[in-house]
Amino acid sequence: PPLLEVENVTRDYSQGGFFSRRPKLRAVDAVSFAIGVGECVALVGPSGCGKSTLARLIVGLDSASAGRMRLEGRQYRGRDLAPLQRASLSLVFQDPFGSFDPRMTIAASLGEPLRLLGPMGRAGHEARLAAAIAEVGLDPAMLGRYPHEFSGGQRQRLAIARAMVTRPRLLVLDEPVSALDVSVRGEVLDLLARLRQEHGLTFLIISHDLDMVAAMADRVMVMDAGRIVETGTPETLFAHP
Ligand code: ADP
Ligand code: ADP
């Protein structure tokens, strides 16, 4: 079976509070698709078309108003994902600055997702953190430091380390390099490509950067006004007649 199946997923937001008479906003509108193991799929579309909402549903940070998803055949609506399933889907947020708590050490931030795996003992916990930080090319001695001590590129590496610490099968990447200086984008993209290969990861990448999408994605889904309006390879979709 596919790694992830999304079937008729809809997400409505109420506008103006619970008692408002305004119609609901349909941010995601009856979306269906599947992603196979090892695929790299890009999700593109204009700002506000529903990409981030869909990403949050898939990783279990929010729940669908209608429809269902399946992870390796197991059905869920969003926040009802069981902890072990949740640990196998990681979201890399768009903003590496906002996603780390400035008052927490890197070790504490990276350790948080490990709670999903249940008790593992201090040595096992520390080994996971050291492996994750080494894997993104940073020094384990940095674990005791705080987010403000790192550059933008380093913080995005840390965000990737935090996403990898539970050893997920699917990474959902929301604009993974758009907040970074052009000079470090290539390095972060190379890191992602290497992790994908070494761990047999599956990627769902949200991006505005069509050059990056063309270079990385096996398949592209175009979203508009909450719907997937086109799907194809980068070659067919971006071909200039
Ligand atoms: P994208 O990621 O493609 O820019 P979003 O998923 O962020 O799009 O937003 C889709 C639509 O849903 C937009 O109209 C946005 O204003 C609306 N929206 C997003 N999050 C919320 C929310 N928490 N409450 C109400 N409306 C929201
Ligand atoms: P609660 O304890 O209220 O159920 P959650 O478990 O949904 O809260 O999430 C706690 C925090 O962990 C969220 O704010 C989110 O930032 C983060 N989180 C949860 N699941 C994921 C995931 N799959 N990928 C990335 N971050 C996640």
Residue nearest to atom 16 of ligand 1 (CA): 48
pLDDT tens digits for range 93-142: 877 666 789 999 999 999 999 999 999 999 999 999 999 999 999 999 99
> ipTM for the complex?
0.75
Reading the block at residue 233, the tokens are 């390879």
Q: What is the DSSP string of 25-37?
A: EEEEEEEEEEE-T
pLDDT value at position 22? 80
Residue 190 alpha carbon to ligand 2 centre in Å: 27
Ligand 2 mutation pick, 61, 69, 80, 99, max ligand atoms within 8 A of CB: 61
Ligand 1 mean position, distance from CA 143 (Å): 34
- Mapped onto helix, strand or coil, the DSSP state of residue 19 is coil
Distance, in Å, from the CA atom of 233 to the CA atom of 5, rounded to the nearest integer, reads 19
Measured from the CB, is residue 50 less than 6 Å from ligand 1?
Answer: yes
Q: Is the CB of 43 under 6 A from ligand 1?
A: no
Ligand 2 atom at minimum distance from 112 CA? 12
Q: What percent of the chain has pLDDT over 70?
A: 98
CB half-sphere exposure, 123, CA atoms < 13 A: 0
13 lines ligand 1 (CB under 6 A): yes
Give the mean model confidence (pLDDT) for residues 59-80.
97
CA distance 162 to 153: 14
CA–centroid distance, 134 to ligand 2, in Å, is 24
CA of 27 to the centre of ligand 1 (A): 6
For 4-14, how does the pLDDT look when each residue is reduced to its tens digit (9 = 90+)? Answer: 999 999 999 98
C-alpha to C-alpha distances, 60 to 8, 9, 83, 184, nearest whole angstrom: 16, 13, 10, 30
Ligand 2 atom closest to 168 (CA): 23
Q: Are 210 and 35 in contact (CB under 8 A)?
A: no
What values do phi and psi take at 233, rounded to 5? -75, 160
Using the atom order of ligand 2, give the atom closest to the CA of residue 89.
Answer: 23
Return the ligand number nearest the Cα of 175.
1
Nearest Cα neighbor of 207 from 105, 188, 129 is: 188
On the question of pLDDT at 241 being above 80, the answer is no
Half-sphere exposure of residue 114: CA atoms within 13 angstroms, side-chain side: 21
Structure tokens at 11: 């997400």
Question: What's at 236, amino acid-wise?
Answer: T
Residue pair 49/224 in contact by the 8 Å Cβ criterion: yes
Span of 38-42, 45-49, 115-119, 178-182 with lowest mean pLDDT: 178-182
Instruction: Tell me how far the alpha carbon of residue 106 lies from the centroid of ligand 2, in angstroms.
Output: 17
| Residue the block writes with tokens 């971006």 | 238
In this prediction, residue 205 has a pLDDT band, given cuts at 50, 70 and 90, of: very high
| Six-digit token string for 186 | 């290539």
